[in-house]
Amino acid sequence: MKEFNRADRVGAQMQRELALLLRDEAKDPRLSEVTLQEVRVTRDLSHAKVYFTVLDKDEAPWFTEILGHAAGFLRRRLGQIMKLRTIPELHFVYDKSIEEGQRLSALIEKAVASDHREEEDG
């Protein structure tokens, strides 16, 4: 069984708390559309990359900017909720891994279909 270090545990708790804050306390109701995929915290707990996705990937830059503006508020609220000496500085990053996974899956399906056509023709 894998052991989790402190940064991993803090990241997991931050992800849960940030999701609740975005859903319940964000002034802009569109921020409730954001899905937090992962929070990676540096070992010294000074910085946290918050990976997120949204349904419309074309709006990702807008959400990145809005979340960046809300980072101070979210960090302050995290400081009130979590029992840490310092709260990491938040950096929001759009997570392209789901898009990339879908693209690779489509390529694999296309290659398999092409192989089947060649077998039938050959």
Contact 5, 66 (CB under 8 A): no
Give the model's confidence band at 116: pLDDT under 50 very low, under 70 low, under 90 confident, else very high: confident
Beta-carbon contacts of residue 38 (< 8 Å; ≥ 6 apart): 11, 15, 50, 51, 95
| Distance separating alpha carbons of residues 108 and 48, to the nearest angstrom | 34
pLDDT tens string 28-51: 888 888 999 999 999 999 999 999
Instruction: Please indicate whether residue 3 or residue 77 has the higher confidence score (pLDDT).
Output: 77
Q: Is residue 122 over pLDDT 70? A: no
- Class assignment of domain 6-95? alpha beta
Domain residue spans in the chain? 6-95
Question: Taking residues 1-24, what's their average pLDDT?
Answer: 86
| Distance separating alpha carbons of residues 96 and 42, to the nearest angstrom | 21
Angle between helices 60-81 and 6-24 (to 10 degrees): 110
Paired tokens of 61: 């830059």
Give the model's confidence band at 3: pLDDT under 50 very low, under 70 low, under 90 confident, else very high: low
